[in-house]
Amino acid sequence: MPGIVLIGAQWGDEGKGKATDLIGTKVDYVARFNGGNNAGHSVVVGNESYALHLLPSGIINPHLTPVIGNGVVVDPEVLFQEIDGLEARGIDCSHLKVSEAAHIIAPYHRTLDKVTERFLGKHKIGTTGRGIGPAYADKINRVGIRVHDLFNAKHLHDKVEASLHQKNQMLVKLYNRRPIDVDQTTDELLKLGERLKPYVANTGLILNKALDEGKTVLFEGAQATMLDVDHGTYPFVTSSNPTAGGACTGTGVGPTKITRVIGVSKAYATRVGEGPFPTELFDESGEWLRQQGHEFGVTTGRPRRCGWFDAVVNRYASQVNGLTDIVLTKLDVLTGLKEIPICVAYDVDGERHDDMPTDQAAFAAAKPIYETMPGWDEDISDCHTFEELPATCQDYVKRLEELSNCRISAIGTGPQRDHIISVHSLID
Ligand code: GDP
Ligand code: IMO
Ligand code: MG
Q: Tell me if 290 is assigned to some domain.
A: yes
CB 378, CB 388: distance < 8 Å = no
Pick the ligand that lies closest to the CA of residue 225: 2
Closest CA to 376 of 415, 413, 423, 327: 413
pTM for the whole thing?
0.97
Residue 238 in contact with ligand 2 by CB distance below 6 A: yes
Residues in the chain: 428
Mutate to test the pocket of ligand 1, among 6, 14, 18, 271 (most ligand atoms within 8 A of CB): 18
**What is the pLDDT at residue 1?**
63
Q: Are residues 170 and 111 in the same domain?
A: yes
> Ligand 2: which of 50, 132, 238 to mutate, judged by most atoms within 8 Å of the beta carbon?
238
The answer to the question of residue 428 being in a domain is no
**Residue 322 shares a structural domain with residue 417:** yes
For 272, the domain range is 263-422
Q: Are residues 167 and 20 in the same domain?
A: no
Question: What digits encode the pLDDT tens for the residues 294-350?
Answer: 999 888 888 999 999 999 999 999 999 999 999 999 999 999 999 999 999 999 999
Say yes or no: 335 and 391 in one domain. Answer: yes
Q: Which atom of ligand 2 lies nearest, measured to the CA of 41?
A: 9
Shared domain for 301 and 360, answered yes or no, is: yes
The stretches in the chain having pLDDT less than 50 are none
3-state secondary structure the chain: CCEEEEEECCCCCCCHHHHHHHHHCCCCEEEECCCCCCCCEEEEECCEEEEECCCCHHHHCCCCEEEECCCCEECHHHHHHHHHHHHHCCCCCCCCEEECCCEECCHHHHHHHHHHHHHHHHHCCCCCCCCHHHHHHHHHHCCCCEHHHHHCHHHHHHHHHHHHHHHHHHHHHCCCCCCCCHHHHHHHHHHHHHHHHHHEECHHHHHHHHHHCCCCEEEECCCCHHHCCCCCCCCCCCCCCCCCHHHHHCCCCCHHHCCEEEEEEECCEEECCCCCCCCECCCHHHHHHHHHCCCECCCCCCECEEECEEHHHHHHHHHHHCCCEEEEECHHHHCCCCEEEEEEEEEECCEEECCCCCCHHHHHHCEEEEEEEECCCCCCCCCCCHHHCCHHHHHHHHHHHHHHCCCEEEEECCCECCCEEECCCCCC
Asked if residue 320 lies in contact with residue 225, where contact means CB atoms within 8 angstroms, the answer is yes
Tell which of 262, 277, 301 closes a domain.
262
Both 176 and 89 in one domain: the answer is no
For 149, what's the count of Cα atoms within 13 Å in the CB-facing half-sphere? 22
Question: Looking at ligand 2, which atom is closest to the CA of residue 242?
Answer: 2
Domain contains 129? yes
Residue 216 covered by a domain: yes
Does residue 258 sit in the same domain as residue 268? Answer: no
Q: CA 74 → CA 82, 112, 122, 420, distances in Å?
A: 12, 16, 29, 32
Residues 369, 373: Cα–Cα separation, whole Å: 13
Residue 298: the pLDDT is 82
**CATH number, domain at 243?**
3.40.440.10
Looking at the annotation, which residues are catalytic?
13, 41, 139
CATH number at residue 148: 1.10.300.10
- Residue 232 in any domain: the answer is yes
Residue 156 belongs to some domain of the structure: yes
Nearest CA to ligand 1 atom 18: 415
User: Does ligand 2 lie within 6 Å of residue 223's CB atom?
Assistant: yes
Q: How many CB atoms lie within 10 A of CB 289?
A: 24
Identify which ligand lies nearest to the alpha carbon of 383.
1
> Is 254 within 8 Å of 267 (Cβ atoms)?
no
Domain shared by 250 and 288, yes or no = no
Are 33 and 113 part of one and the same domain?
no
- Are 184 and 212 contained in the same domain? no
- Residue 301 is predicted with a pLDDT of 87
In a domain, 427, yes or no: no
* Residue 389 placed within a domain: yes
Residue 51 is assigned to a ligand binding site: no
Check if 14 has its Cβ closer than 6 Å to any atom of ligand 1.
yes
Domain's final residue, options 196, 214, 234: 196
* Rounded distance between C-alpha atoms, residue 21 and residue 354, angstroms: 34
Compute, in angstroms, the gap from residue 417 CA to the centroid of ligand 3: 17
* Distance in angstroms (rounded) separating the CA atoms of residues 253 and 111: 33
303 is in an annotated binding site: yes
Question: From CA 207, how far away is CA 30, in angstroms rounded?
Answer: 10
pLDDT, tens digit, for every residue of 139-151? 999 999 999 999 9
Q: Same domain, yes or no, for 394 and 407?
A: yes
Are residue 253 and residue 303 in the same domain, yes or no?
no
Please tell me the number of the ligand nearest to residue 270's CA: 2
* Ligand 1 within 6 A of CB of 21: no
> Residue 282 maps to which CATH number?
3.90.170.10
272 lines ligand 2 (CB under 6 A): yes
Kindly report whether the peptide bond that precedes residue 107 is cis, defined as omega within 30 degrees of 0. no
For ligand 1, atom 12, the nearest C-alpha belongs to 15
CA atoms of 81 and 77, how far apart (whole Å):
6
How far apart (Å, rounded) are the C-alpha atoms in residues 255 and 250? 12
Per the structure, how many domains does the chain have? 3
Q: For residues 61 and 81, what is the distance between their CA atoms, to the nearest angstrom?
A: 19
Range 159-165, long-range pairs (CB < 8 A, 24+ positions):
160/106, 160/185, 160/186, 160/189, 163/106, 163/108, 163/138, 164/108
